[in-house]
Amino acid sequence: MTWRWLIGWLVIGIAALALRLYRLGDQSLWLDEGNSWAMAMQPWTVLLIDLIRPNAAYPLYHVILKGWMSLAGASEWALRFPSAIAGALSVPLLALAARRAVGDSPQRDAVTIAAALIGVCSPFAIWYAQEAKVYALVLLVSTAILWLTLRAVHEQRAQVWYWLIGLTVLALFIHRLTALLALSAGLVWLFSRPRRYTIPIAGGLLLIGLGMIGAMAAGIGSDRAASGASIAADPLTALWLTITRFSLDRWPGDFEWFWLVPWLLLFGLGLIGFARLPQSSRLVIGVMGSVPLVLFGVQLLFTRLYEARYLMIVFPIWLITLAIGVGHTNWRRALAWLMLTGVLTTSALALTQPRFGLFSGDPVKEQYREAIGELMRRVHPDDAVVVHPGYLRPLYDYYASRLSSDPAPQPISFANFWTGETSYTQREWDVERRAALTGYTRSWLLIAPDHARTVDPPRPGDEYGLVGNFWAFSREQRTWPCGIWRFQGVHLFCQEAPEAYITGEIVQPATPGNAVFGEQLTFLGYTLKATTPAGPGIYRAGGNIPLSLFWDVTQPLGEDYSLFIHLCRDCEQPPVASDDGQPLAGYLPTSTWLPGKPARDDRTVHLPPDLEPGHYQLLIGWYRPTDPTPDGRLPVRGEGALSAGRLWLTTIEVIAGEE
C-alpha cells in the first residue's frame, strides 16, 4: 500500500469522525437512549448474565457502555461517544469492502472513493452514530462481516474463514439480528464450494432462519408495541420506506421528492454494475443482501411492525451498490459522478434541513432534557410528579438529578389502558388517581404523547387519552391549571391543588403577612418549603427556593398585574436570581380574583449553580405588564415595605450545591 493510500485512509477516518462528533451532545437523549443508560447502570453481574440470555437483544453493548461510563461519565456526549467511534470506523471498512467487491476492475479506485464519500456523509449512518444505542456498532460489525466474507470467498484461505466465524459469534452478542448475517455467511460458504448436499443443507439453514425471524418478531412485537416506536407496514411498503430511510434518513413526505432522484439513479446504475462483478462477489453481495431482507419481509407479513434500524445489517450492501454505480465506464461515467454529486448534496441538505436535520440546530429528538429542566426549575419538594407512560422513568431519573441540586420528587405512574389481556378502565384509573394525588396541593404531568397513545388511546378528536386529558382540562376537574409547556415529543402540565380545594380545605401560610399593594391587593403571607435537611431558609446553589404566596383583594381588580420575586445581596443592584410573571403562569389573572376568595400562587426561584454562598434578601412586588420599570410598580405599605414598590419577605442562606 502506497503513502498516498495511507494518507487517504487517514483523511477518510478523520472526516468520518469529525462529522459524527459534530454537535454530539446538543440534542437531548430520547426514550431509547435513556433506556440504554438505565441498562448500563445495572450491576455487572446482571449485565454479564444477560450475555447468555437468549431474550437479551444486544447485551454486549450494555457491557461496553457501562465500562466506558466508568471512565468518561454519563453526559449525553459521553453516552454517544462509543457510537460515534463505531460509526467512524465503519467508513474505512466500507471502502475496503467495496474495493474487495470489484476485484481488479479498472474502476476499483473510483468505487473505493465513492464508497468512502457516501459512507462519510450518509445521514442514516450519522444519525445512529450520534445515538446512545447499539446500531452504529451493528453497522461496524456488519460491514466487517461483509468484508471478511468477500475476502474469504476470493482468497479461499482457511484462516480468513476462521476469523469470519469468530466475528459472527461475537456479533451475536452485539445484536441478535446479526444471526441473519451468520446464516447468510453460511449459505455463501455452501455455494462457494458446491457439494452433493448443498441444496438440502441450504434449505435447512433457511428453515432455521425462518425460526429465528419468528422468535425475533415476537420480541420485536412485544418491545415496540410498548414504546410505540414502530410503524405498521407490509413488505412492499417497508421496502419503499427502507429506501427513503437508507438514502436521506427521512420518511416519505418529509423532503422534496427530487432529493431522492440521484439515489435511485445511482442505485439503478449499481444494479447494472452488479452483473459485471466477479462471480464470487455477486454471490456474497446477493446472498448477504437478499436473505436478511426476505426473512425480515416474512415477519412483516405477521407483525406489520417496521423499523428501518433493524435492517442495519444490510445497510452496507446498499452503500456498496451505490458505490458500484459510480464504477461505470464510457458515457455512463459522467452520469454516475453527477449522481454521486447529487447524493452528497442531498445528504448535506438532509443533515441541515430545518425541523428534521441533525445539524439544523432545531430539536429533532424528544426534548426530555428541556421538559425536565423546566420541571426542575419550578417543582416544589411536596409536589406530585406523574410520568406517563411509566417507561419514561429512566429519562426522569437521568435528567432530574443533573438539572437541579435538590432531590427530585419520586414520580408516580399509572397502569396501561386496554393493552394485552388487561382491562384497566376509567373507573380503576379514577380510584387510583385519587389515591395517588390525595394530599398534594399541586401536581405535574410529564407526558410523551406519541408514546402515551399506545397505552392510553385518545378518543377521536382528542390529543391525549384519559391521563393527559385530566391535566389538559384542569378547569373541568374543578382545579386550576398553572401552566403547559410543549417541547418536541414531550409536554409538561401543571395543575394546582387537585384535592385540597375540592374538599374545601384552605391551606394557610406558615408566615402571616400584613401588607397592601395599591389599594386593593392584600398580602396574607407566605410559606417557604425545605429542600435541604437544614429546613426552610437554607438552599443549595443550583437548586430552588420553593415559595407559596397567599393573596386576597378588597374589591375586584380591573387589571392583570404581574408579580416579581427578586433575590439580592445588594438590593440596589440587579437581582442574582428572580422569578417573574402572572399568577399560576397566567392561568389565574388578578382580574378574576374575588374578595373573600384567597388566591394561592406557588412560585420557585431557581438559583444559579455558581451562586456564591452567603445570605440573601427575598423581595416581592407587583407591576403593570405594560410598564415593567419601577414606575409601573404598585406602591406597597405595611410591615416589610421598601422603596420602589418592593416588599421584604425574609433572609435566606445559600450553600454550595452538591457535587
Would you say residue 329 has pLDDT above 80?
A: no
**Is residue 46 a contact partner of residue 69, using CB atoms and an 8 Å limit?**
no
Sign of CA dihedral 88, 90, 96, 98: negative
pLDDT: which is higher, 430 or 328: 430
Q: Which pLDDT band, with edges at 50, 70 and 90, does 111 fall under?
A: very high
pLDDT: which is higher, 558 or 314: 314
Would you say residue 227 has pLDDT above 60?
A: no
pLDDT at 211: 73
> 560, 554, 563, 539: which is closest to 615 by C-alpha?
539
Alpha-carbon gap, residue 55 to 282, rounded angstroms:
34
**End-to-end CA separation in angstroms for the chain:** 52
> In angstroms, how far is CA 317 from the centroid of its own chain?
28
Would you say residue 115 has pLDDT above 80?
A: yes
**Is residue 547 a contact partner of residue 603, using CB atoms and an 8 Å limit?**
yes
Alpha-carbon gap, residue 641 to 619, rounded angstroms:
10
At 191-223, the pLDDT tens digits run 887 666 667 777 777 777 777 776 666 655 444
Cell numbers linked to 449: 404523547
pLDDT at 221: 44
At 484-535, the pLDDT tens digits run 999 999 999 999 874 444 445 667 899 999 899 998 899 999 999 999 888 8
Average pLDDT of the chain is 89
Mean pLDDT of 47-75: 93
pLDDT: which is higher, 176 or 219: 176
Alpha-carbon gap, residue 480 to 501, rounded angstroms:
10
pLDDT at 387: 97
pLDDT at 502: 45
pLDDT at 659: 52
Would you say residue 332 has pLDDT above 70?
A: no
Q: Coil, helix or strand for 95? A: helix
pLDDT at 215: 67
At 514-525, the pLDDT tens digits run 899 998 899 999
Least confident of 83-87, 315-319, 580-584: 580-584
**Is residue 426 a contact partner of residue 466, using CB atoms and an 8 Å limit?**
yes
At 540-556, the pLDDT tens digits run 999 999 999 999 999 98
At 262-279, the pLDDT tens digits run 999 999 989 988 988 999
Cα 370-374-376 angle, rounded to 5 deg: 115
pLDDT at 225: 38
Would you say residue 100 has pLDDT above 80?
A: yes
Q: Which pLDDT band, with edges at 50, 70 and 90, does 382 fall under?
A: very high
Other CB atoms within a 10 A radius of the CB of residue 236 amount to 10
Least confident of 111-120, 222-231, 579-588: 222-231
Dihedral, 407, 547, 656, 403 alpha carbons, nearest 10: 50
Would you say residue 130 has pLDDT above 90?
A: yes
pLDDT: which is higher, 572 or 212: 572
pLDDT at 602: 92
Alpha-carbon gap, residue 367 to 349, rounded angstroms:
23
At 403-455, the pLDDT tens digits run 999 999 999 998 777 544 456 677 888 888 888 988 888 999 999 999 998 88
pLDDT at 189: 84
CA 579 vs CA 43, 378, 545, 622, 640: distances in Å: 42, 10, 10, 12, 19
Q: Which pLDDT band, with edges at 50, 70 and 90, does 224 fall under?
A: very low
Q: Rg of the chain over CA atoms, in angstroms?
A: 31
Would you say residue 102 has pLDDT above 80?
A: yes
Q: Which residue has the cell 401543571?
A: 494
pLDDT at 506: 66
